[in-house]
Structure 1
Amino acid sequence: MSKRKRVYREQFSTDFQGLKKVKKVKIMPFANIVQLIKTAAAEGAFAYHAAFHSLSFKAADCTNRLISTVFAESETGRKFSSAQTKTQAIISRILAPKSTENLLSELGSEPFSIATDSSNFKEIKTFPIIIRYFSHEGLKVKLLEFSNLPGETSELIFKYVMTVLDRFKLSPNNLLWGGLKSLVLSTDDIPKVLENLFSDDSNEIYFWFLQSSLQLFQQTLLILEKKDLVLPEMIESVENLSQKLTDRMQKNFVGAMTQSKLQSLEDSNLANRIEKEFSTFYSTSVDYIQKWFRITDYPSSSKWLMLKSVDTISYEDIRKSAEFLMPEISVKDSLFDETSLLISLLKDSKKSFHELPIDKKWAVLFQNELFSDLKKLVYTIFAIPTSNAAVERIFSLCKKQWTDDRNCLKIDTVKGLLQHLASSTSSISSSKMKVEYALQGHERTVHLLLQRSLDCSDKGRLNYIRTNSSETSSLFLDAYYKEPKI
């Protein structure tokens, strides 16, 4: 029987929609797949390393050839190919989306707060969106979105925030809220303002007063700028600052050196006038704190959340906090039982427990499933924003990434870098090609679900999928190449 010539006809594709023209089928041996997995793992680890240490993407072109040359005896080294384009794509399309996926998975339906601000990078006005929430591992502050807007009006920002919340399906219902003087006077052609300032000896008194007073503000600011600051700490620090300023005003204390300089003034009327100005400074500062921090708007008696000792915890304080934030819990009798259990556990707790950060203490306690109502209350309090330090921290990371040498980065690439860097403290084990996150002091491997495709200009389409290893739960990027369309 003669062989019939098989010809593909265009009519087939019309009559049979599932039939496609196939010119060449390439079956990849299993050994090649294993090698591709190892190579992809190396490329993923390199991209992670570049992001974590803020390496220039231009350096990836050179490093790519360097690795292939230095590790020429290794099959993985010879096949390693992660230049600028692919490295950038792995970060923005794999590592960053996984960070967002982890955030949303962890957040679930728990209460959270958001923070945003604007910062300019040349002509681009950037707006990060920070999510603050409490999880089973403790307090988390992560980057959800990083984008640019044409302006910074309240309407634009509101629409931007609501659009992001809607895109990620986050419900707004869960949203909460001496030598210098000598130098100047000895300099020729100094500005007249500075000359008058340093020529008048009475002005030195103001500098001594500012040195004394600003120490109080600096101590408070250092507390407010903590990454893991919680509501009771914020309330306590602001109340302490307000109380110290009030005490100084009532007792006419302006600082030891300031007082000494005032007494040395020959003009008593001038001294009295300066003292009144200092008193006005104190009263204005206290009024400003009360107006802008609005401590009375927060639940009172919230020091129990700090778990400093059994004596600081009482049912009445917890009930008042619940009455302020979650009235439906405050009327439950179970809240009293949970408070009693909490006190009992703290009495029996070890010293190592009390050395933990406050959010880690609660994370350990909530491993006990008997704290259902107290857990809801604590999660809500931890989600309340305490400062804008997290947003400013993102701008610092952005400045580190978006340098003059990397000024051509796209906003999506910067977003990917920031999401990856802000997700958690990280480390790399290059010997096993692992990407690990350090959580609660333990090395835990995080599997990156690499289910997205990357378009690579030189090798076609690269698909990554998740695999498991029998020896370790390390990350491997399973990869296979398809013939590029020409």
Structure 2
Amino acid sequence: MLNMPLSLGPAEPIGSHWDLQLRVLKLYPALQSYFRSQGKAPNLIIKFLENQVCEAWLWFTHITTNCHCSMTPSKRWRKRRAAVHAAQHLCDLQEKLLERKAALFMGLKVKSILATQERPQVEVFKQSVHTFYEGCISYLQEWSSSFTDMKCFSWTLLEDPPGWDEVESSLRCVSSKLPNIHINETELFDEVTSVKTYTSDKIGLWDRDIKPADERWAEIFTHFKHQNVPFKNVAVICQFAMCLPGTNASVERIFSLMNNTWTNERNRLGLETLKALLITRVNFDGCSEFHARLVDNHSLLKKIHSNMKYA
């Protein structure tokens, strides 16, 4: 498993594995009795079930999977897989694993089983647990190296009011990646100060409503636009941070939608029409949201009822 590339895309729910492991542990005495009663049961299974250290490993796997469930990206995060989100999540995950490795976290049930075992077996088990955590951390470090540059953009998630040192690191990164884009550093400082002032009273409300970073920035820029507060320089950095995808899942989804739309029966569909259809499909969660947007947009309704071919 540790040789597979890192994937943050949709996968089989971890909770199902967790429930299966819990059922196996609850039925462990019954499983022992069943395989003992089988005259042709494989020796490997019998040896495994008779060894209490193996039972400790089952409990450790169960506890580790349970911990992994709490580290899994939320459904709301998976919907917005920007690279800055992925970098933040991977950093948090690595810190948690480092803490577990330092404490050699195993769980009370595992420790109670090990208390009945001989010291050499216990030491071997502890060393194996340490090796397990090292393997997990090495795996994350190897496959998350491409997100290293994105750590300086963590302030764009607006979990706290932005500080200038963080923004300055982002400015340095954007200037190196996009040398043709000019960002006025003096104006940027004033804009960040405005963002800091606005967000100081808003972050608590946003956290309570679980508002994602892109919607937080949309609210800020809308407010600044109405109040004639400059934000063009900070907007460039935010656009750079938010446009980079954390996985290729969104790209694959676009190709899938395109193939479902651009069929052999609709082979004369124009590129502009196809583009408009895909934009609508991707940016709206359902027909009700699209209908609500149309009802409130009177200028677009006029275009729809006019002789224009495409609105």
Q: TM-score, normalised by structure 2?
A: 0.66
d(CA) in 2 for partners of 1:180, 1:394 = 45
Residue of structure 2 aligned with 1:378, choices 216, 238, 246 = 238
User: Is residue 221 of structure 1 aligned with residue 69 of structure 2?
Assistant: no
Residue of structure 2 aligned with 1:318, choices 167, 182, 205 = 167
Residue of structure 1 aligned with 2:190, choices 324, 328, 337 = 337
- Match of residue 87 from structure 2: 235
1:383 is displaced (CA, Å) by 1.2
Deviations along 1:143-202, one digit per CA (max 9) or x if unpaired, are xxxxxxxxxxxxxxxxxxxxxxxxxxxxxxxxxxx3443246515455554444323222
Residue of structure 1 aligned with 2:105, choices 249, 253, 264 = 253
1:338 and 1:374 in contact (8 A); partners too: yes
1:63-74 equivalences under 5 Å are none
User: Is residue 387 of structure 1 aligned with residue 247 of structure 2?
Assistant: yes
Distance 1:201 1:352, change over 3 A: closer
- For the aligned residue pairs, the C-alpha RMSD in angstroms reads 4.3
Distance 1:213 1:256, change over 3 A: same
Deviations along 1:316-344, one digit per CA (max 9) or x if unpaired, are 21111121123455662211111112123
- Match of residue 262 from structure 1: 114
SS, match of residue 246 in structure 2: coil
Structure 1 segments unaligned to the other structure (5+ residues): 1-114, 118-177, 402-408, 429-434, 450-464, 470-475, 478-486
Instruction: Look up the equivalent residue of 2:169 and give its one-letter code.
Output: K
1:304 and 1:318 in contact (8 A); partners too: yes
d(CA) in 2 for partners of 1:191, 1:448 = 71
Determine which structure has the larger strand proportion and give its number: 1
1:205 and 1:262 in contact (8 A); partners too: yes
SS, match of residue 197 in structure 1: helix
Determine which structure has the larger helix proportion and give its number: 2
1:330-479 equivalences under 5 Å are 332-347=185-200, 355=209, 356-367=211-222, 368-369=224-225, 370-390=230-250, 419=278, 421-427=281-287, 436-437=290-291, 444=296, 466-468=304-306
d(CA) in 1 for partners of 2:203, 2:100 = 41
2:52 and 2:113 in contact (8 A); partners too: no
2:114 and 2:122 in contact (8 A); partners too: yes
2:63 and 2:106 in contact (8 A); partners too: yes
1:209 and 1:255 in contact (8 A); partners too: yes
SS, match of residue 64 in structure 2: helix
Deviations along 1:52-86, one digit per CA (max 9) or x if unpaired, are xxxxxxxxxxxxxxxxxxxxxxxxxxxxxxxxxxx
SS, match of residue 226 in structure 1: helix
SS, match of residue 254 in structure 1: coil
1:384 is displaced (CA, Å) by 1.6
1:229 is displaced (CA, Å) by 4.0
d(CA) in 2 for partners of 1:379, 1:275 = 47
d(CA) in 1 for partners of 2:95, 2:265 = 47
Structure 2 segments unaligned to the other structure (5+ residues): 1-6, 10-24, 267-273
Q: TM-score, normalised by structure 1?
A: 0.45
- Match of residue 142 from structure 2: 291
1:36-185 equivalences under 5 Å are 178-181=25-28, 182-183=30-31, 185=33
